[in-house]
Structure 1
């Protein structure tokens, strides 16, 4: 497409450029300057002329859903065999996360505990 050729633009892009150009002319810019700015705006917003594939969506919704599902399965598989209440696992969590776990397990005195005390309490609760 030679520079300045507008044949690859959609009707919507052309209407948008005309509207923007008119606004620039109303502000006092020359017709040439207004047209250049209008097409620059359209290019910035839509990435240029009409793209192959229609809507411009690169990944279909079903492909994204499949990717999310595969990612979740991969994450679950990587956690298999790991004790979520192990000391190493608990130490890698934030205090806020540990407090949330302690709240779900109804551990008494959790709000005044340090991170180390929360880890011990959660381990003790898991064993007993």
Structure 2
């Protein structure tokens, strides 16, 4: 629900999201390839290990974070806290390319053909649909 009492200067802008995975670099490279950009300079933790990998997309940046204890959700048995929706001009060609990049296609496909669910290399679901 929008807060209509907020002044213009007090409103925020969502600039991106952080997504955890067992190998943040690998997942960043996957999504960077999907959208045709390159992974930015990695961020290190307090021990100097690279753990956060930025993928700039337009005015947003998505960070893919290495979390060794990460476990992909058991979808569809478990609800998802969030997922990404990606659009393409040619969904069939995109699906083929995404599978070649390391995505997999689960048997369960909800949505009646309006979208296709794929799993990224970390096992997290994302959806692809036709660009409107």
Greater share of residues in strand: 2
Answer with 1 or 2: which has the greater Rg.
Answer: 1
Higher helix share: 1
Bin the TM-score by the shorter chain. under 0.3
What is the TM-score of this pair, normalised by structure 1?
Answer: 0.21
The TM-score normalised by the length of structure 2 is 0.20
